[in-house]
Structure 1
Amino acid sequence: MHFQTIASLLALSGAANAFSDSSPWILLSTSPFAKAPSADQIQTSSSVLGFAKDVLSTCPTDGYLIVSQPGLYTEEIRRSSKGCTMPHLCKVVDDERIKAKSIVTEVVGNLADAHLSEYIKSACAKQGKAATVEEVHLAPLTWEDRADTFSANDDKLAQSLEKATGTDSYTFIFFSTPGEPNYEAEFEEPVRMELKRNVQSTQLPKGDNETEWDKLPLFEKYQFFTPGIFMALITAVILLTILSVGIRALGSLEVSYGAFEKDMGPAAQKKNQ
């Protein structure tokens, strides 16, 4: 029955796939929860953290491992025909010593600023317990080398899990923040150089007569012609040239005034008859 638990707990519904700004949440403990977690697989970060802090407020176990994995989506750690993407994560979920689980496939909101480590230390201090809290930040997942990052993160997670699960009293928290595609604007080299030249020129100081600004040539100090004005002037010169040629062609026509008079000769009269 290997991986059957993780398969059922991390199964995605059709509605959950519609959320691209959500991330998974896993809370495991060897100590039973005082109250049952919500069965909703789509929850807000405030409701998830509220339940988690209720559980952690009693300092239920002796050890705590908090793991954050930026850029992870639930569908990437679900069971598939190729196996589990992070085998050690699947293994700890399937641990027989775990008596309480709270797994939410889609958490909408920010989980990175929860400060759970400080909260656990404060809660255990109030209970008079000396708890061990370890916080692990895995490398963010990128689309370029996602498989390699998964493998490296799982190896790092294995080391922390081996230490945390060495006792029979531990709590494991795993959460993520959804990644966003990186967009990098690309410009052609001439445009980039033109922008760089303009920025450098406008950033020069305009102070006393001895500044670098006053030492610049006139055409570097002021921009008399923009590319738009220059193209408009060239177009205007071409159109005016065509117009002048047309006017001169019309003006060169030579037609006698007699060409417009009605022919009253014998030939015209005979033709009319």
Structure 2
Amino acid sequence: MHLQTVASLLALSGAANAFYDSSPWILLSTTPFAKAPSADQIQTSSSVLGFTRDVLATCPTDRYLIVSQPGLNTEDIRRSNGCAMPHLCQAVDDKRIKGKAIVSEVVGDLAGADLSDYIKSVCAKENKAVTVDQVQLPPLSLEDRAGAWASNDDILAHNLDKATADDSYTFIFFSTPGEPAYEAEFEEAVRMELKRDVDNAQKPQSKNETEWDKLPIFEKYQFFTPGIFMALITAIVLLSILSVGLRALGSLEVSYGAFEKDMGPAAQKKNQ
């Protein structure tokens, strides 16, 4: 089965899931490889490109198709319900393929591979006329990912039909870095700094002493921190309460006679 073949070739171990920035690499040729490819499913981009250039160094076929898909990873192709790109899976299982190298996780950037110019240069040294087609598929849409897969698979099928019309061809499929699907955004905490210009006040002192010295004093230094400001507000409230209490005590009016001892006849009778 086409889907089972690709699924087994793109099977990942548990450790492979840790490489979120990796991408698959597929190299197919109707000419057998002089050297067997590595069976490691996690390789660096330099090792993969080195092996690919060794295969292409002899200009093995008459036609070449190089396809890149931005932002692709192995999990996108491998699904529980089958292959996301049926024509890609069918190309892998073509009976005319004699050389096959598939790496599930390639760690590193493959955007600068420039294999098209390399193929033309090595084939020119061999005095061999070849056809090199390079196709970059559109990025996958986040809104309609299934529709994007179907559209890209149709584009791939059209180019594969032309490349595989003869029995001498080489097919290379890889991924290039794309835009991240989602980036979490967090709102910054509310700042309680009393400054006229936040950016200039937080600007560090540079090596140019003249520019730093020219800044206004309130932009160079911060005189009121949130803690000092809150302490001043609290002190004002407490002092206002204290002033009200002092005013209340000061408003009491008591006559001096209230503290004198009563020496009248009534007081003497009480003492007796």
Question: What range describes the TM-score normalised by the shorter chain of this pair?
Answer: 0.7 to 0.9
1:7 aligns with 2:7: yes
Are the aligned partners of 1:71 and 1:142 in contact in 2 as well (CA < 8 Å)? no
Change (3 A) 1:79 1:144: closer
How many residues end up aligned between the 2 structures? 226
> How many Å apart are 1:177 and its aligned residue?
2.8
User: What amino acid is the match of 1:119?
Assistant: Y
Question: Structure 2 CA distance, aligned partners of 1:135 and 1:154?
Answer: 15
Question: Structure 1 CA distance, aligned partners of 2:102 and 2:257?
Answer: 105
The aligned residue for residue 65 of structure 2 is 65
The aligned residue for residue 206 of structure 1 is none
The aligned residue for residue 154 of structure 2 is 155
> How many Å apart are 1:238 and its aligned residue?
8.0
After the TM superposition, which residues 17-28 of structure 1 pair with which residues of structure 2 at under 5 Å, given as runs?
Answer: 17-28=17-28
The aligned residue for residue 140 of structure 2 is 141
> How many Å apart are 1:11 and its aligned residue?
1.3
Are the aligned partners of 2:111 and 2:177 in contact in 1 as well (CA < 8 Å)? no
Provide TM-score, normalisation by structure 2: 0.72
> How many Å apart are 1:4 and its aligned residue?
3.0
After the TM superposition, which residues 68-147 of structure 1 pair with which residues of structure 2 at under 5 Å, given as runs?
Answer: 68-78=68-78, 80=80, 82-147=81-146
Provide TM-score, normalisation by structure 1: 0.72
Question: Structure 1 CA distance, aligned partners of 2:20 and 2:140?
Answer: 15
After the TM superposition, which residues 177-196 of structure 1 pair with which residues of structure 2 at under 5 Å, given as runs?
Answer: 177-179=176-178, 180-183=180-183
Gaps of 5+ in 1: 189-197, 200-222
Question: Structure 2 CA distance, aligned partners of 1:63 and 1:19?
Answer: 33
Question: Structure 1 CA distance, aligned partners of 2:236 and 2:124?
Answer: 89
Change (3 A) 1:136 1:162: same
Output the aligned Cα RMSD.
3.5
Moved more, 13-22 or 26-35: 13-22
Question: Structure 2 CA distance, aligned partners of 1:48 and 1:259?
Answer: 108
Are the aligned partners of 2:62 and 2:168 in contact in 1 as well (CA < 8 Å)? yes
Percent identity between the two aligned chains = 65
Are the aligned partners of 1:64 and 1:132 in contact in 2 as well (CA < 8 Å)? yes
1:251 aligns with 2:247: yes
After TM superposition, the runs of 4+ consecutive aligned structure 1 residues lying more than 4 A away are 184-188, 232-239, 255-261
1:30 aligns with 2:30: yes
User: What amino acid is the match of 1:150?
Assistant: W
> How many Å apart are 1:16 and its aligned residue?
1.0
The aligned residue for residue 240 of structure 1 is 236
Question: Structure 1 CA distance, aligned partners of 2:97 and 2:160?
Answer: 14
> How many Å apart are 1:260 and its aligned residue?
10
Question: Structure 1 CA distance, aligned partners of 2:237 and 2:157?
Answer: 80
